[in-house]
Amino acid sequence: MKSFFFKKILIFLFVFFLFMTMFSCQPISSTQDAKNFSNAMIKAFFIGDEAYNKFGISKSDKTVTPGTSNISNFSNSHFGSELNDYFTYTKIEFSNSEISYEDARYTVNGTLYCAVDSTFSSDHFEATIILYGSFEVTKDGKTQDVVFDAKYTLTFTVKDEDHDGVYDFNLSGSFLSYVNDFVVNDSSWSITFSGKWFTS
């Protein structure tokens, strides 16, 4: 009887640790991973044709197609009901695109649908941005299917002090994102990076 009990305990522990090992190997396996990925995606939305410093993605692996997205692409988004004709729609195709946030680096394949409602001046921008897409995401050799759904409310300033086409971006605001089963609600965030306009 005692031997049977210990066998059941050992089987349970084996299955538990096997499950935890498999789950922890995924690129998005914690709320912090989901937050890092959400920050990397908003930078990928803004960054331009070439990588600068350790940020951004290159022209060869990102294609921006303005006007090819619409409200129907957000039918499965948590934020789809907030969209209207005031938003501008675009679509970004990622093909083995490298995106990053701090030390987290991802290779992304898939389509990101973007909706933006904004007001801006020459160096100041306020916007509500809704991003939705399905991706194959690889990090540290591990690959995972990821559904990304996020709403960013942000203010950012942009400066090109050297007049070389490379802008310094400072974004601040809040976001609510759904990355598979993880929910990130960050009401106070700020990131700074450099690169070209995503439309350049």
**pLDDT for res 21:** 38
Taking a C-beta distance cutoff of 8 angstroms, is the pair 120, 126 a contact? Answer: yes
**pLDDT for res 20:** 40
Cβ count within 10 A of residue 187: 9
Give how far Cα 198 sits from Cα of 40, 64, 123, 176, 194, Å.
Answer: 14, 8, 15, 22, 12
In terms of pLDDT, which residue wins out, 199 or 117? 117
User: For the chain, what is the mean pLDDT?
Assistant: 77
Give the angle 26-114-191 at the CA atoms, nearest 5°.
65
What tens digit of pLDDT does each residue of 159-190 get? 888 878 777 878 788 999 999 999 999 888 78
What tens digit of pLDDT does each residue of 60-108 get? 455 556 566 788 999 999 999 999 988 989 888 888 888 888 888 898 9
**pLDDT for res 66:** 57
Is 54 a residue whose pLDDT tops 60? no
- Residue 188 corresponds to which tokens in the numbers above? 């106070």
What tens digit of pLDDT does each residue of 44-53 get? 777 643 333 3
Is 23 a residue whose pLDDT tops 80? no
Among 143, 135, 33, 30, CA closest to 93: 135
Give the angle 118-119-121 at the CA atoms, nearest 5°.
135
Kindly calculate the radius of gyration of the chain based on its CA atoms and give it in whole angstroms: 20
Coil, helix or strand at residue 50:
coil
Segment 111-137 shows an average pLDDT of: 89
Is 59 a residue whose pLDDT tops 60? no
Whether the predicted model's global pTM rises above the 0.75 cut: no
Share of the chain above pLDDT 70, in %: 74
